[in-house]
Chain A
Amino acid sequence: EPEVTQTPSHQVTQMGQEVILRCVPISNHLYFYWYRQILGQKVEFLVSFYNNEISEKSEIFDDQFSVERPDGSNFTLKIRSTKLEDSAMYFCASSRGTFYEQYFGPGTRLTVT
């Protein structure tokens, strides 16, 4: 069964460093998303992406964040200058259309020290 994959599973970085989180969505899906979950808190929406552009973003998704689909299979989230409060589990999700099921990857645990 097709699934969303994410790499790395755990990333430790120092404050101020740039990180890139990678995702491979399900191959025939067209809509891509990033969410994050700070330990003990709700899952929060960050951004949605369709047709090579951002379709919606949350207040969390400020200028330090960017997304890209560099080729036909990968979908990346870049944090330019990490802060301690960026420490969280980051989930990628994909869907075949709006208002359809969103399938999540296993997540990348980002720890900023």
Chain B
Amino acid sequence: SQQGEEDPQALSIQEGENATMNCSYKTSINNLQWYRQNSGRGLVHLILIRSNEREKHSGRLRVTLDTSKKSSSLLITASRAADTASYFCATVYPNTDKLIFGTGTRLQVFP
């Protein structure tokens, strides 16, 4: 399967702490996108990182991509209770523009 897999499956932290989620994939990609999903709701786009990029930032979010290890990480700094959600990575391969989603990481931030 080409699908990305996240770890950990679940993560519980206190407000103010940093949260790191990892995503691995199998073959060369065009880009990798991170999404957030609140329970039963839609998917909110967070960041897109292309295969020729190594790091991107957006506010409290930092995404890295290591193509040699076929992995990406999402770091949320100074987490807030409102960051509680499921986070998914989705990969796009060179011969298609469909997103292939991973299993997600459930993040719980306690106030």
List residues of A whose CB falls within 8 A of some B CB. 31, 33, 35, 42-45, 48, 55-56, 58, 89, 91, 93, 95, 98-107, 109
B99 touches A35 (CB 8 A): yes
Known A48-B97, A99-B97, A100-B48; contact A43-B88, beta-carbon cutoff 8 A: yes
B33 interfacial by beta-carbon distance below 8 Å: yes
Majority DSSP secondary structure for residues of A touching B: strand
B103 interfacial by beta-carbon distance below 8 Å: yes
- Which of B15-23, B37-45, B69-77 forms part of the interface with chain A? B37-45
A42 touches B42 (CB 8 A): no
Give the contacting residue for B98; candidates A56, A91, A104, A106; CB below 8 A: A56
B98 touches A42 (CB 8 A): no
Known A42-B102, A56-B98, A99-B31; contact A104-B92, beta-carbon cutoff 8 A: no
B41 touches A106 (CB 8 A): yes
Complex Cα spacing A54 to B3, Å: 22
A45 touches B99 (CB 8 A): yes
Give the contacting residue for A105; candidates B42, B99, B102; CB below 8 A: B42
